[in-house]
Amino acid sequence: DIQMTQSPPSVSASVGDRVTITCRASQGIHSYLAWFQQKPGRAPKTLIFGASILQSGVPSKFSGSGSGTEFTLTISTLQPEDSATYFCQQYNFYPLTFGGGTKLEIE
């Protein structure tokens, strides 16, 4: 199974800051990677697929990059509503696997 290692597990930032979350795959997955945002008590929401393709309706403050084994999600100009847990997921191979999540807190 492909292991998805996300870092950091948690991060605290201020309004207006930019943060970067990293996801590392245990083997190459080309660009078959998605990023999700989940707020407490809510279903996950897709932000990025294909490593860098912005889901329709998602603000351009979210961006993704990477291919192979190293991927990043960058969130710019942080606002209080960006406070959430972010997950990565590979869909190149079964079983599909998720990263452990990164909890983003906005100070």
Partner 1 sequence: EVQLVESGGDIIQPGGSLTLSCAASGFTFSNYAMGWVRQAPGKGLEWVSDISATGADTYYADSVKGRFIISRDNSKETLHLEMKSLRTDDTAIYYCARLVGEGYWGQGTLVTVSS
Q: Which is nearer to partner 1, 67 or 98 (CB)?
A: 98
Smallest gap from residue 38 Cβ to partner 1 (A):
8
Q: What is the DSSP letter of 81?
A: G
Work out how close the CB of 71 gets to partner 1 at its nearest, in angstroms, rounded to a whole number.
15
49 sits near partner 1 (criterion: CB under 8 A): yes
Q: Among 14, 43, 80, 81, indicate the residue that binds partner 1 (CB under 8 A).
A: 43
Other Cβ atoms within 10 Å of 92 Cβ, number: 15
Chosen residue from 23, 29, 84, 89 binding partner 1 by CB under 8 A: 89
On the 0-12 / 13-18 / 19+ scale of CB atoms within 10 A, 1 is: exposed
Where do we find the tokens 């201020």?
14
